[in-house]
Amino acid sequence: MISGKKTVEMLDVIDSMFPDAEAELNHDNTFELTIAVLLSAQATDNHVNKVTKSLFKKYKTPEDYVAVPLEEVQDDIRTIGLFRNKAKNIQKLCRDLIDKFDGVVPDNYEDLVSLAGVGRKTANVVLSVAFDVPRIAVDTHVERVSKRLGIARYKDNVTQVEETLMKKIPEDRWSKAHHQLIFFGRYHCLARTPKCETCPLLDDCREGQKRMKRKLKEEK
């Protein structure tokens, strides 16, 4: 694995590529953000934004979601993967918010992960984006990029990747780094077609070097 110093150097390069990286899930308040992040599991932010455009017009509060039958919420998010489970979780989460938190999304990790459908990643995104708490949420892009660059080990699970990133990146950069690693993975170091040939990190990237060697061999 690469050192913390090298990690920060790489992050500086990514920072110059994506200085304005930020959450791409549309929302007007913390409650909408929480619903959007919950919907985003195994779905693209673009797709979630399409669905929430009408969803957030119809449902403004936790009470609105529990006032209709489950089937109606399912219908309203039907185009999103795992919609049955997600609709169930949305109603459970709203019920919990009403019963335990006066209808307000809590601002701490323990309470957040006690809500239906809210795991470590969702809680970290909500804390970071809505409450400005320094966090690094590890989604598929953050995990892939961290492993390809050698910041984390290929065999690490998401919690280990998160811990490693927090160790190697200064705390005041966590939230920004989280968005920048997502942008880098989403628009540059893509899962199937990473842009290694034009990548400013190629010289130091173990995955990129491997891919370029393979490509040269194939061309011979």
How far apart (Å, rounded) are the C-alpha atoms in residues 35 and 86?
9
**Closest approach of ligand SF4 to the CB of residue 206, in Å:** 8
Q: Residues near 38 by Cβ (< 8 Å), separated by ≥ 6?
A: 86, 89, 90, 93, 117, 118, 122
Question: Is 11 a residue that touches ligand SF4 (CB under 6 A)?
Answer: no
How far apart (Å, rounded) are the C-alpha atoms in residues 33 and 126?
7
Rounded to the nearest 5°, which phi and psi values hold at 205? -100, 120
Using alpha carbons, select from 191, 107, 195, 77 the residue that is nearest to residue 85: 77
Contact region with ligand SF4 (CB under 6 A), list: 110-118, 150-158, 172-180, 197-205: 197-205
**Closest approach of ligand SF4 to the CB of residue 167, in Å:** 20
Question: Is 208 a residue that touches ligand SF4 (CB under 6 A)?
Answer: yes
Number of H helices, E strands in the chain: 12, 0
Using alpha carbons, select from 70, 127, 72, 125 the residue that is nearest to residue 93: 70
For ligand SF4, what does the binding mask look like between residues 129 and 158, x meaning CB under 6 A? -------------------xx---------
How far apart (Å, rounded) are the C-alpha atoms in residues 75 and 55?
11
Question: Is 189 a residue that touches ligand SF4 (CB under 6 A)?
Answer: yes
Query: Is 139 a catalytic site residue?
Result: yes
Q: Which is nearer to ligand SF4, 37 or 196 (CB)?
A: 196
Comparing every residue's Cβ against ligand SF4, the nearest one is 208
Q: Which is nearer to ligand SF4, 110 or 219 (CB)?
A: 219
25 token code pair: 């899930």
Query: Is 176 a catalytic site residue?
Result: no
Q: Choosing from 139, 147, 156, 168, which is the catalytic residue? A: 139
Catalytic residues: 121, 139
Contact residues for ligand SF4 (CB under 6 A)?
148-149, 188-189, 194-196, 199, 201-202, 205, 207-208
